[in-house]
Amino acid sequence: MNNQHITVVYKWTAQPGKLDELTSIYKNVTKAMEENEPGAEAVHCYVSEQENALYVRDEFKDAAAMGFHLQTTAASHFPDLLSIAAPGPFFFFGDVPQELKSATEQMQLGAEFGLHTAGFDR
């Protein structure tokens, strides 16, 4: 993993009875990312029936890849997601440029940002 890599971990809490619809939307999101976003290195979704929520982990090559995602796939699905679920919190790990921080804050994602301090990959 290079120092430009950005990981985003976040939660969507579905309205009552909307968890299956939320999961279905995210299956479309992940397919779109896989097919159209070469800078998206990985996406993983986890359903919590207990919390009526979907947890997602996105891995981006760099800030440009994350910005592309926000402007394309995320932008096209965001209205449908907001109609059935509440976003956040969103945790951004990596060197996120100020303009992308501002964009996430305008989207009211409950965004928090952290820089890498230690770790390893095998």
Q: pLDDT per residue over 11-57, tens digit each?
A: 999 999 999 999 999 999 999 999 999 999 999 999 999 999 999 99
pLDDT tier, 8 (very low <50, low <70, confident <90, very high otherwise): very high
Q: Which of 83, 114, 63, 77 is nearest to 18 (CA)?
A: 83
Between 3.40.50.300, 3.30.590.20, 3.30.70.100, 3.40.1170.10, what CATH number should domain 6-114 receive? Answer: 3.30.70.100
Answer whether residue 68 shows pLDDT above 60. yes
Per-domain residue ranges for the chain? 6-114
- Are 111 and 90 a contacting pair, CB within 8 Å? yes
pTM of the model: 0.91
